[in-house]
Structure 1
Amino acid sequence: MKDALKLLCTGDFHLGRHPSRIPDSLDGPKLSPTSVWLSIVQNAIDSDVDAVVIAGDVVDQENRYFEAYGAFEDGISRLHEEEIPVVVVAGNHDADVLPEMIDNLDFGTLQFLGRDGEWERWTLERDGEPLAHFDGWSFPSEHVYESPLDEYDLPMVDDVPHIGVLHADLDSRKSQYAPVQSRELRDTSADAWLLGHIHSPAIQIDSRPLALYSGSPQPLDPGEQQTHGPWTITISQAGKVRAEQVPLASVRYDHISVDVSGAGDAEEVASILSEEITERVRSELDTSALEVSLIRVRLTGRTDAHSALVDQHRSMERELKFNEDSVSIRVESIEVDTRPAIDLEALSEGDNAVAYLAGLLLEIENGDPHENYPDLIDGSLAAMRKAHSANAYTPLRRETELDEPDEADAIECLEQQARVLLDTLLSQKEGTA
């Protein structure tokens, strides 16, 4: 008999979707959530877990049912053959489609909990004795505005491990996706709450009960950074809960800042950037399952290459590509936040365009440009908001939930343009000297 209960926890597959921003030359089936799901199945078999727990959003949307069905069935079938039960609840994205999918899958080891938003308990047994209790709740529809725990009234359990499975928005009171408060989880008798909905993996409560967002096992866009993969949950006979991530994702998104102060030209910056990224992948990342590393770069510092970087960073994004062992490394985007290698204090003395721009940049650096440049900032903000509301950008706003520009956005835009214009004026001055 095992000394501890061992689970593999995951969720938010969104089968039918695909990671974004992947270069066409690298894209393929190995980078899909489906491929990672099957890797998770194999890991569960190899690790001899007692159960697999899936905390919702197996399918991305109803219109991707057929894309998801075969892959999900394949994984469940393999787990069924190994007599590994699967506990699953529905999330907001698959509230309608997952129950139908479960009904069409004839596997006695597949346990769907919480149908129609009603709490339900399933007990895992071995040799007729309870090994663990699982309490689950599923989304009855896409939006749920009240906490599911308001209706949680399942009785206390015996001394075996007790696990809650829930797709919910933790500590977000006004959410339309089952808002739940941490105190509500703490008020239950559960040893652990395994949560879905948030794609960034993280332990939310590191005490009894443990509360864990397993995150998306395969990141789907640059906002889902760092390591992804399922989590092994171990509960000892003494009731101690331990969680450990298993890095099975084949894609990783990251954001790094690189100081290029002193670089003389764009080529030197590219060399510095290549070294920084390669060293990061080599020293910090678990590359056992990784296929593609996409990195969003922010360049900082004062450099003579500033103007060239503003002009050439798009081509640098396309050209910077290299491999580290079996990992293909690509720069997803470059943000140029460098500054010209100039003395703004000296240039601000005078009564010309150069002095005006230098003074503006100094005010921005000092953090309070609105006092001396209110009209400029207000005008810039008005122009940005007018562009934001233009009919031409309606599809972009709808698809990306693009926020309306605020004063900070206007100041950032002014700073970027002022640096470029100042550099251009100084270059023209040098050319006529």
Structure 2
Amino acid sequence: MLFATNLNTFMAMKAIMICLLVLSHSLPAQVPNLSGSWSGTSGTPFGTYLVFDEIIQNGLTLSGHGKIINLQQTDSSAYTFEGYIKNDVIVIVHTSFIYKSSLACLSKVKLNYTKIDNMEHLSGKWGGQMVKGGCLPGVSGKIEMQKVKSQPNLSTANVELQAMSNNDHIGQSLSNRLKNTKYYALLIGIEDYVADDIASLHQPIDDANTLYQTLSKQYGFNEQNTISLQNPSRAEIIQGFEALARTVSSEDQLLIFYAGHGVWDEKLTQGYWLPSDATMKSKSQWLSNSTIRDYLQAIEAKHTLLITDACFSGGLLKERAVYSNSKAMLELYKLPSRKAITSGTLTTVPDNSVFLKYLIKNLENNQAPLLSASELFASFKIAVINNSPSGQIPQFGVISQSGDEGGEFIFLRR
């Protein structure tokens, strides 16, 4: 009987120990209760943003939603997230947007928890993640938050209503302003060359036409404000630029697309477009990057976006990565811009354009009413790299010495 009693006591103690081990594994004693409302600040390439997160904790896993807004309250986005706690590090992964009217991207956040004078704090850094809509690798910033309520707001309804409310002018006012501006386009496709020493291409004209169909059906472009040039000479391209310089106003948006041959002169460190009347024997009919840059500066558009699908097209750019500009672009939508998306760097690119395939695909699949040029670029860059037979790496950046002041071209969806 005594043995049985001791055995029962032993089994009971063992069960308690197993239970304690399970509890210790699922939720260590040092893990804090993160559930609640948190607010703080985050550093971004565009300046400081306010952060508001509603965290729900279940053991070592986290979920919730949040919002960021700039200090001027002119730009904001809301998102959902999931997360976990491991080795005293709190990891929060942004999974989707509830709404967005900014350059926001989905990031991965690593935080540390501290408690000072009964005030709970989270601090750490956010960075990129390789998902659709994710921030690019290498982009990061500091983030600090403090718990303001012990119970989180579990509903995203207020966030969604705020995004759609007439009282929320952040996205609506920008949409209204863009609806009252004109979208101009100059689309150039060159595939047939007069000279025998320049090989013909097969895709540029079809590519330009496909891009126009997407822009006119889904965005704010129309035939009246579009100049389409098929196999133009140098003089005809110049005439196109001059027509835009006479017509486009300082509040308008301008998109220029070029598909054709490109050449890089190593001695002159200069890139060129090759119009249909060009020959490799003389540069007299070539169109230099410096000439293109001069016309982009002369055309008084609010925002100009140049998209080039040509060899050596990266030579136009002063900067070759998103967010590489060190200026804080707090007035992103108000400042003039002259930026380019190119199909490659200072290298050759294939005639059958993977670059344009994924660019157009992401324009067509976009459901957001507002889409910035850098968001578009981030959405298809990895797909081009992964699917290009020649290893091309598309680029995005400022066209140097062309009048860029840090703004951004915005696509307005119909």
Same fold (TM over 0.5): no
TM-score (norm 2): 0.23
* Higher normalized strand content (fraction of residues): 2
Which structure has the highest helix share of the two? 1
Q: TM-score, normalised by structure 1?
A: 0.22
